[in-house]
Amino acid sequence: MNTLEQVLLLVLVTDPFGNLPLVLVALGRLDAAGYRRAVLRESLFAFGVLLALGWGGAGLLHTFGITEPALHIGGGVILFLLSLRMIYGGPQGAFNDGYAADPLLVPIAVPAIAGPAAIATVILLRTQQQVPLWQLALALLCALLITLATFLPGRRIAARLGPRGVNAIEKLTGLLLNLIAVNMMLEGVRRFMA
């Protein structure tokens, strides 16, 4: 898997367009400067969490005795469920338990951007694909820039596209993620049977 494919996969699992409605709701009370500051902070937190798990996630799996096929299948199931939420769920999905005026770390950085699917993907890239840490950091950085390019002008994007346009992009992203999830599960079963 080359760097461009890694970036595309990371963008799909961090799902900036799908998370845009959540970001708009969570940060809706902030003024323009506060909104930009919060988006930058939360994106950097998510980047740090994912990079740390890319660095130490394999050791964590080894400690708990989690095998590579189990990671493939488990990660695929999580991606599959996330894709179903993106295709059929509402903008808040699993995060409808209320928001602070300026949430810190939760729910935007974790679990919206650096959610279970993104964490499983980062660990899989390091363990199964043997992606060097520097290359993973580069792919994460590119995905972060795409996330920022979506979130920073998020209020303008949502106004231009309207609720139906944002919803359509989220559903298309969910469909692509669904196909990746099925492929991950099939790969896990294949490795288990081998």
Does 38 map to a domain?
yes
pLDDT at 92 over 60: no
Q: What is the pLDDT of residue 177?
A: 77
Residue 95: pLDDT band with limits 50, 70, 90: very low
pLDDT of residue 48: 96
Q: Is residue 183 part of a domain?
A: yes
How does pLDDT run across 166-185, given as a tens digit for each residue? 788 778 877 887 888 888 88
**What pLDDT, on a 0 to 100 scale, did the predictor assign at position 99?**
53
pLDDT of residue 155: 92
Q: Is the peptide bond preceding residue 107 cis, with omega within 30 degrees of 0?
A: yes
49 occurs within a structural domain: yes
pLDDT at residue 73, rounded to an integer: 86
- List b or e across 69-85, with b for residues whose CB sees 16 or more CB atoms inside 10 angstroms: bebbbbbbbbbbebbeb
pLDDT of residue 103: 81
Each residue's pLDDT tens digit, 106-150: 888 987 898 877 888 999 899 888 999 999 999 999 999 999 999
Confidence at 90, pLDDT banded by 50, 70, 90:
low
Number of domains in the chain: 1
Q: Is residue 59 part of a domain?
A: yes
* Cβ within 8 Å of residue 94, ≥6 positions away: 85, 111
Would residue 193 count as lying in a domain?
no
What is the span of the domain harbouring residue 50?
A: 3-188
Rounded to an integer, what distance in angstroms lies between the CA atom of residue 8 and that of residue 143? Answer: 8
Whether 28 is in a domain gets the answer: yes
Report yes or no on 20 lying in a domain. Answer: yes
The per-residue pLDDT for 139 is 97
Specify the pTM. Answer: 0.76
Quick check: is 117 in a domain? yes
